């Protein structure tokens, strides 16, 4: 089986694509199959989030480009910037992946979180879109388990 142990951002030629949701893109080692059937083993030094447009460099020199699959998400908007920051704080306090932009937050659908956000005055809409959450300070190890102590 072909192996990929390197990510590239400057591939001149792409042999194929692989379309993955956010969970499928957070990997270190896994058997994968490209959109057109190229089977390979992803074998990276550490787990990381594969980003849209990055190339998975196979040992034979071919590059498989990462594509982000649309996901069922909530689009969270607020009455102003300060309110949006407060909502982002609440999402972060629950350790939820969140994509942050100037005027909205994107999170995975969860009816309990939706009710909490609406209770805090947020407007929450269901959308389907690519999901690229913030990496965070502990991205290399934080997704699997907590290694730091804190109160909740």
Query: What is the CATH classification number for the domain harbouring 29?
Result: 2.60.260.20
Rounded Cα gap, residues 11 and 22, in angstroms: 22
- 151 in any annotated domain: no
Question: How does pLDDT run across 48-100, given as a tens digit for each residue?
Answer: 889 999 999 999 999 999 999 999 999 999 999 999 999 999 999 999 999 99
- 45 in any annotated domain: yes
* Domain hosting residue 87, numbered range: 70-130
Same domain, 56 and 82: no
First-to-final CA distance of the chain: 45
Question: Which DSSP helix (H) or strand (E) runs through 43?
Answer: strand 39-49
Rounded average pLDDT over 90-116: 97
Q: How confident is the model at residue 12 (pLDDT cuts 50, 70, 90)?
A: confident
pTM: 0.76
**CA-based max dimension of the chain:** 54
Q: What is the pLDDT of residue 130?
A: 94
Same domain, 83 and 30: no
CB atoms within 10 A of CB 122: 22
């Amino acid at each position: 089986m072909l192996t990929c142990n390197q990510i590239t951002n400057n591939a001149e030629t792409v042999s194929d694509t692989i379309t993955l949701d956010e969970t499928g893109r957070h990997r270190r080692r896994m058997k994968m199959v490209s959109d057109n059937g190229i089977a390979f083993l992803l074998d990276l030094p550490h787990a990381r989030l594969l980003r849209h447009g990055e190339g998975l460099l196979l040992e034979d020199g071919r590059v498989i480009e990462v594509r982000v699959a649309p996901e069922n998400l909530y689009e969270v908007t607020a009455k102003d910037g300060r309110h949006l920051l407060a909502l982002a704080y609440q999402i972060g306090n629950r350790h939820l992946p969140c994509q942050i932009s100037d005027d909205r937050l994107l999170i995975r659908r969860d009816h309990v979180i939706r009710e909490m956000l609406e209770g805090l005055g947020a407007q929450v809409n269901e959308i389907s879109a690519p999901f690229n959450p913030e990496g965070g300070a502990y991205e290399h190890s934080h997704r699997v388990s907590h290694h730091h102590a804190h109160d909740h």
